[in-house]
C-alpha cells in the first residue's frame, strides 16, 4: 500500500474520478445509442429521414412524408462520397462525417442508413430498404439533447469506481498531532 500526503491524495482522487468519467462517456454513449434503435412503425413515417436529390442534383435529407416538391427520393445510383459531401455542406460542416452509407446491395434490395444532418444536439437516424424503387423503413433511432442525461449517471458511476479503486491502493499519510520532529 502506498502512502501519499493528504492534499495530493484529494487532488489525485479528483483526477481519477474525472478520468474515469471522461473515458467512459464515448463507449457508454455508443452502447446506449445502440439500445435506442427500434423497429420503424407507421407513426415514424412523419419523422423518418430519407435521401433526396433536387433539380440541381444536390443531395439532401428529407422526411419521408414531407419530400419537397422540387426533389425526388433517391433509390439508385448511390455515390456515397458525393452524397456525404452535399450533406456535410448542407450544415456547413467542413469535416467528412458519413451521414449516408450503403449497408448492403443485392440483386433485388439495397439497404442504406441515413443520419439527418443537423447542428443541434439531437439525432435522427433511419435504416431503410429500397426494393423496386420503393422505400421501406426498417429501423429508426431518435433522441434529443436530453439523451446526455441517460449517459451521465453511468459515467458518474465509472468515475466513482475509478476513484474508489485509487483510494483503496493509495492512502493519505497519517498526520500525527503533537509528534516531535527529530
- Nearest Cα neighbor of 124 from 103, 141, 107 is 141
The model's pTM = 0.76
Q: pLDDT confidence of 168, banded at 50, 70, 90? A: confident
Predicted local distance difference test score (pLDDT) of residue 8: 81
Q: pLDDT confidence of 169, banded at 50, 70, 90? A: confident
Predicted local distance difference test score (pLDDT) of residue 131: 94
Per-residue model confidence as pLDDT tens digits over 10-19: 898 999 999 9
SS (H, E, C) 22-90: HHHHHHHHHHHHHHCCEECCHHHHHCCEEEEEECCCCEEEEECCCCCCCEEECCCCCCHHHHHHHHHHH
pLDDT at 175 over 80: no
Q: What percent of the chain has pLDDT over 70?
A: 91
Per-residue model confidence as pLDDT tens digits over 115-136: 999 877 788 999 999 999 899 9
pLDDT at 170 over 90: no
pLDDT at 55 over 70: yes
Task: Please state, rounded to an integer, the average pLDDT across all residues of the chain.
Answer: 88
Amino acid at each position: 500500500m502506498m502512502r501519499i500526503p493528504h492534499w495530493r491524495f484529494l487532488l489525485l482522487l479528483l483526477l481519477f474520478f474525472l478520468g474515469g468519467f471522461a473515458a467512459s462517456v464515448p463507449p457508454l454513449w455508443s452502447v446506449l445509442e445502440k439500445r435506442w434503435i427500434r423497429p420503424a412503425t407507421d407513426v415514424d413515417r412523419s419523422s423518418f429521414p430519407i435521401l433526396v436529390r433536387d433539380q440541381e442534383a444536390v443531395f439532401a435529407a428529407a422526411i419521408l412524408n414531407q419530400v419537397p416538391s422540387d426533389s425526388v427520393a433517391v433509390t439508385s445510383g448511390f455515390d456515397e462520397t458525393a452524397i456525404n459531401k452535399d450533406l456535410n455542406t448542407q450544415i456547413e460542416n467542413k469535416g467528412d462525417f458519413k451521414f449516408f452509407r450503403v449497408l448492403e446491395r443485392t440483386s433485388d434490395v439495397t439497404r442504406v442508413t441515413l443520419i439527418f444532418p443537423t447542428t443541434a444536439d439531437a439525432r435522427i437516424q433511419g435504416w431503410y430498404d429500397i426494393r423496386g424503387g420503393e422505400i421501406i423503413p426498417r429501423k429508426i433511432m431518435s433522441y434529443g439533447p436530453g439523451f446526455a442525461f441517460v449517459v451521465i449517471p453511468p459515467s458518474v458511476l465509472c468515475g466513482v469506481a475509478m476513484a474508489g479503486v485509487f483510494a483503496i491502493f493509495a492512502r493519505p499519510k497519517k498526520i500525527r498531532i503533537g509528534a516531535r520532529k527529530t
